[in-house]
Structure 1
């Protein structure tokens, strides 16, 4: 995938493998793998032995972190790639 590719230039239903999904989000592939392990990342699918992410799912996950200001509570929280505390699990709705 070209480094300048963004969400709007890709079909919403297109599937990306971990390296391309990570590049689109500006993360390392390892960070995206950690998010899978801890359940803090975007929805993914396992097709055979391959992990793929739908572009629309990546966008929805990233959009949880959208804020207008530091005081804006936003629509949700994008947590770090680590185990969540009980309080964070409650805030995230179990995800």
Structure 2
């Protein structure tokens, strides 16, 4: 068996490539990376970190658009991402002093 020596430079290069690929994966929602346009309720709840009741409330008050086909509720991935971006922007706005 021939031994192969791994140098610090090899490990540094591997680390850089791995971090780059992970950032690309994190930057895209998982379903968008798979090319899906419509996602199911459980996927929305996972993306937003919310409960089924909260998602129902968001549908009821019009916070999140949806489409119903038979008994299945579907959401456009772009609408969910926009909702996340809007929440991120509003969280960054400085609070007005009273």
Q: Same fold (TM over 0.5)?
A: yes
**Higher helix fraction: Structure 1 or Structure 2?**
2
Larger radius of gyration: 2
Q: Render the CA deviation track for 1:5-47: whole Å, top value 9, x for unaligned.
A: 96713226432221221111111121001111122x2211111
Cα RMSD over matched residues? 2.8
> 1:26 corresponds to which residue?
49
Q: How many residues align?
A: 68
- After TM superposition, the score normalised by the length of structure 2 is 0.55
Residue segments in structure 2 that go unaligned for 5+ positions in a row: 1-24
How many angstroms apart in 1 are the aligned matches of 2:78 and 2:43?
14
Structure 1 residue 72: Cα displacement: 7.2
- Per the normalisation by structure 1, the TM-score is 0.56
